[in-house]
Amino acid sequence: MINEFLLKEFGDRIKQLRLQKNISQEKLSFLTGFHRTYIGMIERGERNISISNMAVFAKVFELNISELIDLKTINPNHSYKNYEIKSDK
């Protein structure tokens, strides 16, 4: 899958923020309005979420979207070179 690496890192970021707040997936579900299984799928890197859903997470975690997607907080060696680019070729 294209950008599987990115989805996993973003999921790790959501999980990191959830654990920092010391809340369960169920509590995060309540705060975001998203189903608990959807949150679990995001944390496992199984879902590619929309920017509007990112904004919901950012609001719950009291961050702006750029802070939410700052993946260097979970992986200091993070590099965009690891991502695949979808092309028409």
Q: What are the structural domains, with CATH classification, of the chain?
A: 4-69 (1.10.260.40)
**Predicted pLDDT at 79:** 60
Please check whether residue 7 is in contact with residue 47, taking contact to mean a CB–CB distance below 8 angstroms: yes
Tell me the one-letter amino acid at 22.
N
Distance CA(75)–CA(49), nearest Å, equals 20
**Predicted pLDDT at 89:** 47
Tell me the one-letter amino acid at 84.
E
Please check whether residue 42 is in contact with residue 66, taking contact to mean a CB–CB distance below 8 angstroms: no
Quick: pLDDT tens for 17-74: 999 999 999 999 999 999 999 999 999 999 999 999 999 999 999 999 999 998 777 6
Distance CA(54)–CA(6), nearest Å, equals 14
**Predicted pLDDT at 12:** 93
User: CA angle 22-10-16, nearest 5°?
Assistant: 20
**Predicted pLDDT at 37:** 97
> Of the ranges 1-5, 24-28, 84-88, which one carries the lowest mean pLDDT score?
84-88
pTM score of the predicted model:
0.82
